[in-house]
Amino acid sequence: MVSGTFTSVIVLLIILFLFKEGAGLFNQTPMEKGYVVAVNSSNPVSELSPAQFKDVYDGKIITWKSLGGNSDSIKLFRVDDITSYYTEEQIGSNFEHLGECISKLVQKTPNIIAFFPKEYADSSFKGKTINLKKITAWSFVSEKEWFPTAQPVAQFGVLSLILGTLWVSLAAILFALPLGLATAIYLAEIADSRVRNILKPLIELLAGIPSVVYGFFGLIVIVPMIKNIFHLDVGETALAGSIILGIMALPTIITVSEDALRNTPRAMKEASLALGASKWQTIYKVSIPYSASGITAGAILGIGRAIGETMAVLMCTGNSAIIPHTLLQPVRTIPATIAAELGEAAQGGMHYKALFALGCILFIITFFINLSVELISSRRKGGKNE
C-alpha cells in the first residue's frame, strides 16, 4: 500500500509539473521580447497572426490586400534600414533621434510595416502598433510550421509533429503486431520445449539492446536499403523509423502474448481437440480468445514503446518537420523533437515551454490509446461472459 501510494503521488506530481510548464506557453505573443510591429495610422490592418507576419518578413506576402488591407505593396522596414532614409546627423551620433526618425518615416509611408524596439514607440510615436495574435491551444495543435527559434516571430505549429508521431508509430505496430503474435503462437503452441528454451531468451535479450544501437543498425542497414529499393534521394524516411520501431516493439509483444497464450487451461484445449477441432482451430477458437486480454496488454506495451521512442527515430526518420503524405517521406516525431531541442532551449522561455507542451500532447496521445484499448478489451470480456 505504501509503495503504491508513493508511486501514484510521484506520477501525479510529474504530470502536474508537465502540464504546469506546458500551459505557460499559451496566451503569449510569440514575438521577440522588447519589440513592436507598427504601420501607418491610416492602415486598416490592426492584427496579424504569427504565420502572416513571418510570410511578410520572408517576402511571401507582398501586398496589404492579402492581409485585409488595400492593394498597395508592402514596404518592410527594419531598424538597420534607417540609414537608407536618414543621414547619420539626423539620426544622431548616439541614436538619440532614432525614435523620432522612425515615427516620421511610418507617418509619411502609407504602405510601411515597421519592426523595431519597443522603446522607440513612446507617446510621441505617430504610427499605429499592430497586435500579433496570441498562442492558443488550438493554434498550437492546428498550425503546420514548427520553427520555435524564428526571428522576429517564432512559429509554434505542431500538427506536422503530431502526424509524424502517429504515422511512424501506427506503421510500426502494423508491422510488429502480426509478426509478434505469430511468433508468440509458435512458441506457445507449436514449438517443442528445446526450441522454445533457445528462442525465448534470445527474443527477450533483444529488449535489453540500447535504442541507440537499433538506431545505428537502422542508419547503416535499413536506410540505405530503403533508398536503393525505392530509388529515393535520402533513405531517412518514416518507413525506416517504422521498421526500426517495429523491431524494437517485437520482444515486448512476443513475450507478453506468449505468456498469455501459455496460461490457457490445458483442459479447454483438450476439450476442443476431443470435439474434433484441429490444432489450428483450437488455437484460433480457444487459445487466442482466452488470451485476448494478455495479447492486448502486449499490444499496449508495444504501442507505448513505439510512441515514446527517441534515439532510434531521431537517427532514422530525417527529422523534417513536414506533414507526411507517404511513408517514404522524412518526418519528425514529438519525442525526437524534445530530445533534440530541450538542451538548447533557454529555461523558462517560450521554446522551453513549447517542448513541455509537446510532452503534454504525447502524454494525452498515450493515455487515449491505452484507454481505447482497455475499452475494447472490456467489451470482449463482456461479450464472452454473455
What φ, ψ does residue 161 adopt, rounded to 5°? -70, -40
Asked if 309 and 381 sit in the same domain, the reply is yes
Residues 68 and 208 both lie in one domain: no
- Compute the residue count for the chain: 386
Domain CATH code at residue 187? 1.10.3720.10
CA gap 252, 242 in Å, rounded = 16
Task: Report yes or no on 245 lying in a domain.
Answer: yes
Total domain count for the chain?
2
* pLDDT tens digits along 145-178: 899 988 888 899 999 999 999 899 889 988 998 9
Is the omega angle on the peptide bond into residue 117 within 30 degrees of 0, that is, cis?
Answer: no
The sheet carrying 35-39 orders its strands as: 47-48, 128-132, 35-39, 112-117, 75-78
What's the pLDDT band for 230 if we cut at 50, 70, 90? very high
> Do 109 and 165 have their domain in common?
no
Q: Which amino acid is at 346?
A: A
Q: Phi and psi dihedrals of 352, rounded to 5?
A: -60, -45
Between 369 and 320, name the one with better pLDDT. 320
User: How far apart (Å, rounded) are the C-alpha atoms in residues 101 and 98?
Assistant: 5
Q: Is residue 152 part of a domain?
A: no
Question: Which of residues 118, 133, 148 is at a domain's end?
Answer: 133
39: part of which helix (H) or strand (E)? Answer: strand 35-39
SS3 for 332?
A: coil
Same-domain pairing of 110 and 242: no
The residue range of the domain holding 119 is 35-133
Give the separation between CA 310 and CA 215, rounded to whole angstroms.
10
Banded pLDDT at 12 (limits 50, 70, 90): very high
* Position 376 confidence tier, pLDDT thresholds 50, 70, 90: low
Q: Say yes or no: 124 and 178 in one domain.
A: no
Q: Answer with the one of 133, 168, 198 that is the final residue of a domain.
A: 133
The 10s digit of each residue's pLDDT in 302-332 is 877 778 888 888 899 988 888 888 899 999 9
Whether 128 and 163 share a structural domain: no
In a domain, 18, yes or no: no
H or E element, residue 147: strand 146-147
CATH number of domain containing 90: 3.40.190.10
Helices (H), the chain: 2-23, 50-57, 88-91, 98-108, 137-142, 159-185, 193-206, 211-217, 223-230, 238-262, 266-274, 279-282, 288-290, 292-308, 311-316, 334-341, 350-385
Query: Could you tell me which residue, 161 or 125, shows the higher pLDDT?
Result: 161
Burial, 105: exposed, middle or buried (Cβ in 10 Å; 0-12, 13-18, 19+)? buried
pTM summary value: 0.85
Q: Is 68 left (phi over 0), alpha (psi -120 to 50) or beta?
A: left
Does residue 381 register a pLDDT over 60?
no
Distance CA 118, CA 234 (A): 45
DSSP state string for 248-281:
HHHHHHHHHHHHHHHTS-HHHHHHHHHTT--HHH
Q: Is residue 328 part of a domain?
A: yes
302 and 228, same structural domain? Answer: yes
Domain presence at residue 104: yes
- Dump pLDDT digits (tens) for 169-225: 889 988 998 999 999 999 988 888 888 888 888 888 888 888 889 999 999 999 999
Rg of the chain over CA atoms, in angstroms? 29
Based on the fold, state whether residues 72 and 127 are members of the same structural domain: yes
Distance between CA atoms of 323 and 160, rounded to whole angstroms?
Answer: 4
Residues 174 and 125 in one domain: no
Indicate whether 316 belongs to any domain.
yes
Note whether residue 5 is domain-resident.
Answer: no
Q: Are 125 and 163 found together in one domain?
A: no
What is the model's pLDDT at position 324?
A: 86
Q: What is the DSSP letter of 135?
A: P
Does residue 143 fall inside a structural domain? Answer: no
Mark whether 201 and 65 lie in a shared domain. no
For residue 185, the one-letter residue type is I
305 and 381 both lie in a single domain: yes
Per-residue exposure over 284-316, b if at least 16 CB sit within 10 Å of its own CB, e if not: eebbbebbbebbbbbbbbbbbbbbbbbbbbbbb
